[in-house]
Amino acid sequence: DGGITQSPKYLFRKEGQNVTLSCEQNLNHDAMYWYRQDPGQGLRLIYYSQIVNDFQKGDIAEGYSVSREKKESFPLTVTSAQKNPTAFYLCASSISGIASVFEQFFGPGTRLTVL
């Protein structure tokens, strides 16, 4: 089955620690995205990548880092510099088009809690 997987589903972190959230897709999509969702709010874009070995900051990139070494994988690291990292993190992917914008498909999410 084609889709997007995220792991772990729940993650607990102590203050001052870096943690990495995994996102893998087998949809053969070029573009991948990371969003953060806080309770009762919409999604905010952290980073996105249109192609392997390239990525851009979204609206709230401070305290986060990403890499895109493989088409299928787009891991997100939440660093100790992120002051309020407790949130629900969603990864998405889409076809990348020059003349059009395509729908994004989402993974099941990772719920990060800082203790």
Is residue 94 close enough to count as binding another protein by CB under 8 A? yes
Is residue 1 close enough to count as binding another protein by CB under 8 A? no
Token pair recorded at residue 107: 């993974």
Is residue 55 close enough to count as binding another protein by CB under 8 A? no
Shortest Å, Cβ 43 to another protein: 5
- Cβ distance 86 to 114 under 8 Å? yes
Measured CA to CA, the distance from residue 95 to residue 46 in angstroms comes to 19
Work out the burial of residue 64: count CB atoms within 10 Å of its CB; fewer than 13 is exposed, 13-18 middle, 19 or more buried.
buried
Is residue 41 close enough to count as binding another protein by CB under 8 A? yes
The site map against another protein for 8-37 (x = CB under 8 A) is -----------------------x------
How many residues are given for the chain? 115
Is residue 63 close enough to count as binding another protein by CB under 8 A? no
Distance of CA 90 to the CA centre of its chain: 6
Question: Where do contacts with another protein occur on this chain (CB under 8 A)?
Answer: 31, 40-45, 48, 50, 58, 88, 90, 92, 94, 96-97, 100-109, 111
